[in-house]
Amino acid sequence: MKKILMTLVVSIVFLGLAHGASAEGQHKRLAGKDRFEVAANVAKEGWPSGANIVFLANYDAFADALSATPLAYKMNAPILLSRPTSLGDTTKNKLRELSPSKVFVVGGTASISNNVVNEVKSLGISSVERISGKDRFEVSAEIAKRMPSSSKAVVANGLNFPDALAIAPHASRNGMPILLTRDNELPAPTVSSLLNRKPSQVIVMGGTASVSNGVYADLSAYSPLRIGGSDRYEVAANIIKKLNLSTSTGFLATGQTFADALTGSVLAAKKNAPVLLTRNSSLPEATKEITGQKRMTNFVVLGGTASVSNSVVKAVAGPLAGEMIVVDPGHGGSDPGASGNGVVEKEVNLDVSKRVKGKLDSNGAYTVMTRETDTYPTLSERAALANKQGADAFISIHANAYSNSDVQGTETFYDDTYAGQLSKELATYINNELVEKLDTNDRGVKNVGFKVIKEATMPSVLVELAFITNEEDAAKLRSDYYREQAAIAISNGVLTFFR
């Protein structure tokens, strides 16, 4: 009897863990009415008890500040922002709160004037040191002089900001200076800095449009490693992949302006977190993919909703964050499935599946499709994809058919070979939602060993939306409105299941 009870307890715990593995995403937004306030709030988060040293950079000119993060991290210093000729109340008040003994001003007098330096000194901060040069390349070399020797260095395009800021947390934690280059020529200060430092390897940031093959070849003595991508968002994601960075927490910043990523980069380094970039109102596919693949659920969002919208945050830290879901549009290619009443099944399946993917992704899931075009993966290939991905759920979407055209309604199937009880639960939630949203006849949830769900080892269901062979059902399958309702229903069922 004890053995039976123990087995029962273990089974219940296992099921609880399997279903409870979902952890809704968490995020903390460090925002403000402008970039000065964002920087001040980043400093408040990372340096609540004050800071002995503070870095000051121009709020509107990224060039001088691109290389500042590694040195600021080394000195445990936040980065605050200033206008060219005046400090501004937000920054002035934050300096009072931080009460540093020294301020480093990054850039020449055109970036931050001597009037600003005098304002800083008027706060009782007597030690103000300017790090400058005749151009951004010389500034980066001057910053590198203050860094200790290191086996590696970073070379990034100095005429654009995203690549340098995306690598900044990793460079900071590993004591690497960030040296700047033109896209097709290594500037003399960068060449000189590399000759003096003699790193064993240089990490080259960006594709050939950022750092040309010619410049890459000029760095051959330093065993260069290029981290590129099709755009700034993919470059940031590839930093995580190539360098195998910790992803327990991620920082999310707009990739369209530099200020938030700059001031947040030192805090990201302190938290051993990468910086990922996004568009203001839509999450780039590369960012979505890396957060999904790494099962990232915790984020620090830099900037207000004008910089990173709430919908973007939900797409990485929503209720399905950390869940990988495979959606399978049934049939495809040479196998059209059922047809009739102006409906071809493979087309309905693909359309509804794409809508489902969009809704799951917008709630934080990482959704993988077994097909995205009119192709035909075999049933075993579909299940194998889900198994290889380590998916948390598998949903195969179909439309039904029968010789009797009077037969109509919605039914959902599961198989009990693997996660039988959880599959039944998922099927029940989805089926209930579909019947309500489509206003169809409820044909129920059934245990049938269809190959595509029988071979999938995670909670798996096969949905039959409605009958193509029934005129009333077919009208709904033809309708954009009801296809959208079907996608909402499936997404709602998945949300309920993981909650």
Tens of pLDDT along the chain (499 residues)?
Answer: 333 333 333 333 333 333 334 457 899 999 999 999 999 999 999 999 999 999 999 999 898 899 999 999 999 999 999 999 999 999 999 999 999 999 999 999 999 999 999 999 999 999 999 999 999 999 999 999 999 999 999 999 999 999 999 999 999 999 999 999 999 999 999 999 999 999 999 999 999 999 999 999 999 999 999 999 999 999 999 999 999 999 999 999 999 999 999 999 999 999 999 999 999 999 999 999 999 999 999 999 999 999 999 999 999 999 999 999 999 999 999 999 999 999 999 999 999 999 999 999 999 999 999 999 999 999 999 999 999 999 999 999 999 999 999 999 999 999 999 999 999 999 999 999 999 999 999 999 999 999 999 999 999 999 999 999 999 999 999 999 999 999 999 999 999 999 8
| 20 contacts: CB under 8 Å, gap ≥ 6 | none
What does the alpha-carbon distance between residue 267 and residue 252 come to, in Å, rounded to a whole number? 12
The pLDDT of residue 20 is 36
Tell the residue number behind the tokens 């990523």, with chain if given.
Answer: 261
What does the alpha-carbon distance between residue 222 and residue 168 come to, in Å, rounded to a whole number? 20
b/e code 352-374 from CB counts within 10 Å (16+ = b): bbbbbbebbbbbbbbbbbbbeee
Q: Could you report the per-residue pLDDT of 412-431, keeping only the tens digit for each? A: 999 999 999 999 999 999 99
The pLDDT of residue 64 is 86
Q: Which is catalytic among the residues 464, 471, 472, 484?
A: 464
Chain mean position to CA 214: 32
What does the alpha-carbon distance between residue 446 and residue 428 come to, in Å, rounded to a whole number? 9
- CATH 3.40.630.40-classified regions of the chain: 324-498
Residue 464 bears catalytic tag: yes
The pLDDT of residue 3 is 33
State the architecture of 324-498 in CATH terms.
Answer: 3-Layer(aba) Sandwich (3.40)
Q: Which backbone phi and psi does 102 adopt, to 5 degrees? A: -150, 145
What does the alpha-carbon distance between residue 179 and residue 106 come to, in Å, rounded to a whole number? 15
- What average pLDDT does the chain have? 94
The pLDDT of residue 23 is 54
- Please give the helix or strand (H or E) that residue 107 lies within, else none: none
Q: Could you report the per-residue pLDDT of 207-230, keeping only the tens digit for each? A: 999 999 999 999 999 999 999 999
- DSSP secondary structure of 41-83: HHHHHH-TT--SEEEEEESS--TTTTTHHHHHHHTT--EEEE-
Q: Which of 159, 253, 174, 249 lies closest to 206, judged by CA? A: 159
- Residue 184: count of CB within 10 angstroms of its CB: 11
Secondary structure tally for the chain: helices H, strands E: 19, 20
